[in-house]
Chain A
Amino acid sequence: GAGVSQSPRYKVAKRGQDVALRCDPISGHVSLFWYQQALGQGPEFLTYFQNEAQLDKSGLPSDRFFAERPEGSVSTLKIQRTQQEDSAVYLCASSENGGTYNEQFFGPGTRLTVL
């Protein structure tokens, strides 16, 4: 079956521009996660949804970052007024249910470059 997909795969934005990154999780997966991976680093948690509810947004670096999952499937990560330090790969992952001991399946990521 289809895995997690993300679009666009690459995005170049001018500083100050708003961007929207899309994630299509595996069908039926309850939990959805967003991570930010800077160059040479491991993925860092941004936010977590269980169905349409955003249960944890403690990792969002500023109020310029906003995520939604209105119907409990597709999710969008929006970054307003992008800054150069926002340049990173943004990874989306989904898991079957909300339990801790569940494998997270990752998408290929969106590489954001802010000029």
Chain B
Amino acid sequence: DQQVKQNSPSLSVQEGRISILNCDYTNSMFDYFLWYKKYPAEGPTFLISISSIKDKNEDGRFTVFLNKSAKHLSLHIVPSQPGDSAVYFCAASASNTGNQFYFGTGTSLTVIP
């Protein structure tokens, strides 16, 4: 059973505009959330994280928002750049169940120049 879901397999955005990638989770014990970015033939690379004690974390052009009551998080990229084109994975973990991450199925972002 998929505990982390990314319901949009793909997203296209014009360069300079905002990209919003969404993620939903079902396990209320998750308390740490991350976004990873993946280029073809490479492993995922860490982008940004947020713990459940916060509802927002910002790093440059990237902001992650967490809505615990809705079990929803989102990644905002603004302004979007062509180099942001990649597959984005949402991941979650629970501190009381070990160190494994549960990943979503990914959203392929294309930023059109």
Take A33-B100, A59-B100, A103-B34 as given contacts and tell me if A42 and B89 are in contact as well, using a CB distance cutoff of 8 Å: yes
Q: How far is the CB of B34 from chain A (nearest CB, A)?
A: 7
Take A101-B51, A108-B42, A109-B43 as given contacts and tell me if A40 and B100 are in contact as well, using a CB distance cutoff of 8 Å: no
B1-59: which have CB < 8 Å to A? Answer: 4, 6, 31-32, 34, 36, 41-46, 49, 51
Take A40-B105, A42-B4 as given contacts and tell me if A106 and B99 are in contact as well, using a CB distance cutoff of 8 Å: no
Query: How many residues on chain B are close to A (CB under 8 Å)?
Result: 28
**Given the complex of chains A and B, what is the CA–CA distance between A63 and B51 in angstroms?**
35
Take A4-B43, A40-B105, A91-B43 as given contacts and tell me if A45 and B4 are in contact as well, using a CB distance cutoff of 8 Å: no
A108's contact among B6, B43, B93, B101, by CB below 8 Å, is which? B43
Q: Are A48 and B46 in contact (CB under 8 A)?
A: no
Take A48-B99, A59-B100, A101-B51 as given contacts and tell me if A43 and B32 are in contact as well, using a CB distance cutoff of 8 Å: no
Residues of B that sit less than 8 Å from A by CB = 4, 6, 31-32, 34, 36, 41-46, 49, 51, 89, 91, 93-95, 98-106
Residues of A that sit less than 8 Å from B by CB = 4, 31, 33, 35, 40-45, 48, 55-56, 59, 91, 93, 95, 98-109
